[in-house]
Amino acid sequence: MDDINFNEILISGIINVITDNNGKYVKFGLTTNKYTLNEDKKVYVSLNISRELFNTFQDCFIKGNKVFIKGYLNSYIDQNKKIQGFITVTDISNNPNEIIKGRNSPHIRYDPDGVMVWNGKRCEAIPSTKEELTEMEKLLKDFK
């Protein structure tokens, strides 16, 4: 008999806190709704996201933003011998289709200083040196 286990989480909600301790992971909280037959209640969820993924999707991390998340359950036993559960994020978006169906294109955003960021990497222009400019002019002189 196959032992099949699923540990993937799909969740959406509003970011309520972001705690960046400059470590390997950034912690953040999400407020979502727990629906029951008679009422709807707020549920607060703790999540971890790797620094690399946080930097790539930094524009999603604004307190009050609604986000859609894919991740997996994780836990540890604290010093008081209590189990602490959280979700480790593997993907985040403000578009539910990107989470459910997958991404078709790179994630592009702009840093506050106007530099384009492509999948978390800044695309800064590096000015040419005088020698490089002279060489380019030489190469292009036949086309002028």
Q: What are the tens digits of pLDDT across the range 69-84?
A: 999 998 899 999 999 8
Asked whether residue 111 is assigned to any structural domain, the reply reads no
Asked whether residue 87 is assigned to any structural domain, the reply reads yes
The answer to whether 44 and 29 have CB atoms below 8 angstroms apart is: yes
The answer to whether 12 and 32 have CB atoms below 8 angstroms apart is: yes
Asked whether residue 118 is assigned to any structural domain, the reply reads no
Asked whether residue 64 is assigned to any structural domain, the reply reads yes
Asked whether residue 63 is assigned to any structural domain, the reply reads yes
112 vs 15, higher pLDDT: 15
49 vs 126, higher pLDDT: 49
Judged by DSSP in three states, 143 sits in helix
Please state, in angstroms and as integers, the Cα–Cα distance from residue 101 to each residue in 10, 49, 91, 95, 113, following that order.
12, 20, 12, 10, 32
Q: What percentage of the chain has pLDDT greater than the value 90?
A: 44
Asked whether residue 120 is assigned to any structural domain, the reply reads no
Asked whether residue 33 is assigned to any structural domain, the reply reads yes
Domain region containing 26: 8-104
Alpha carbon distance 69, 93 (integer Å): 7
- pLDDT surpasses 80 at 5: no
**pTM over the 0.75 mark:** no
Rounded to the nearest 5 degrees, what angle is found at the Cα of 66, between the Cα atoms of 62 and 70?
100
- pLDDT surpasses 80 at 38: no
Give the confidence band of 2 by pLDDT, cuts at 50, 70, 90.
low
Rounded mean pLDDT of 112-126? 84
Phi (first) and psi of residue 97, to 5 degrees: -65, -35
Give the confidence band of 62 by pLDDT, cuts at 50, 70, 90.
very high
Give the confidence band of 55 by pLDDT, cuts at 50, 70, 90.
confident
Q: Count how many domains the chain has.
A: 1
Predicted pLDDT of residue 109? 81
Kindly state the DSSP code that residue 115 receives in the 8-state scheme: -
**Paired tokens of 89:** 């994020």
Alpha carbon distance 52, 57 (integer Å): 9
The answer to whether 19 and 28 have CB atoms below 8 angstroms apart is: yes
Rounded mean pLDDT of 102-120? 82
